[in-house]
Chains A and B, each alone.
Chain A
Amino acid sequence: MKQILSVVLLLAMGWFLVGLVPLGQPTEPGRVAQHYIDNGIDENRGANLVTSVIVNYRGFDTLGEVTVLFLSVAGAGFVLRRRDGLVRHEHRPSSEILQTGARMLFAPIVVFGAYIFVHGHLSPGGGFQGGAVIASAVMLLLLADRSHHLPHGLMHWLESMAGFGYVMAGVAGLVVAGSFLSNQGVLPLGTWNRLFSAGIIPIIYILVGLKVGTELSSLLDVMIDTGRPARQEGGRS
């Protein structure tokens, strides 16, 4: 009965969605977007307009987004902190070949992640993507070698400093140009389409990349280190 009900509900919702969406009509940018497109280069010098929108025009939202990510990681860490009902994994080293490969690949993957977040204002990519790539390198290392310990002190320091730096960049805009996270006059805007351009945008994206990378790495560390249930039997699966 419930199954049929849910199918009917879904069909109704699908019908509603299909009616809501303008199928097959190309959309033109709205008034705000047209302003960003026309003036984005003059105001920010970042070739990637999406980055300009995220880090500058809607930079305050991104600060909130970074906070949400931090809170969810902190929440996951808090939920998984208590270990009652769980025992630690017994230590089973993986193959020597795999460990060597993981350690060999770690550095290139981190460089690739750094490349992505440093070039966030020039090409597709940015702090969140680059941070995720770096976290994938850490995951590779952790999965290949469970005995590997992350430098938690360094990571916490980096993470807090990155968040602090983001807010400080915003305050600098407030002091110099009179509005939080303003990009005018804080740093020279530079030339279009070169690496050192777009004022504080690359700085903020580098900070976001470091923050996301360290946050996701600690999340993976907590999840891998959780252990398995003490009892195996019982319960429908």
Chain B
Amino acid sequence: MLIEQLINGLTLGSIYVIVALGYTLVFGVLNVVNMGHGEIFMFGAFMGVVVTNILGWPLYIAFVVAIVVTGILGYFLETFALRPLRGKEGVSHLAPLISTIGVSIFLENVAHHFFGSGNQPFRTSLSELKFVLGSTTVYYVQIIIFVIAILLMFGLTFWLSKTKAGKALRASAENLAVASLLGVNTKRTITQTVIIASAMGGIAGILVGIAFNSVNPQMGLSFGLKGLAIIILGGLGNVRGAMVGGLILGMAETFIVAYGDSGYRDAVAFIAIIVILIVRPQGIFGTATTGRKG
């Protein structure tokens, strides 16, 4: 059972990682926690349902459609909920939190309206493919999810730290005016980032659909909250932190069910962040703010 639970934990953790990366990326650039990310993720999952179940098209098209649709949603989110607040004077740093919460409420209810409130079946042949290793059954989906998470993490790390675009992004994150004085087209940089982050949410959505056959308008919230916990756990804006945090959480949740009390599963994430923040207020991998005094 141990190995099976380990695989369960890794699968869940990998999905958490992908969701968390979306949060981290947007936070990294904009210093904004995008509360609408969970719902964008949920839309990705529904796109999978629409394409494979309703239209009966193949799975890869579902990925394409989900990426496109969530990318567009990201674009709208940036245009309507974030951009108007940016660089405006007297805007509290809470404002984007609220406006993205607005987006999440809006999207959740739109999903209700179009897809109904219940679960929608997401059935693909891919989710049936498996092989047996000793006494454990492993599904290909589980491996695919894990690999995608790893790839996304390395891709992002490389992009942020090594490429020019990544540096431009970090510069924009810190100071929009300065970044633009240095020649960065900040508007484009930011829009791109939000779109990429949202598309990652779309990918995660489809993966959840395949792995768990559970797609409903409320899933944005439950995964979203976990994603939030993870980025705090790992340190805001920190890609490696999101990876480690996500995997740890997936494992922890699985193991508390397996060897502890499943009633506390949803609390694990938050107990962990409370403990960690008390010990290390900047998260596991976060760097202490290097503010100068005086």
Task: Say if A and B assemble together.
Answer: no
Interface residues of B (CB under 8 A from A): none
Interface residues of A (CB under 8 A from B): none
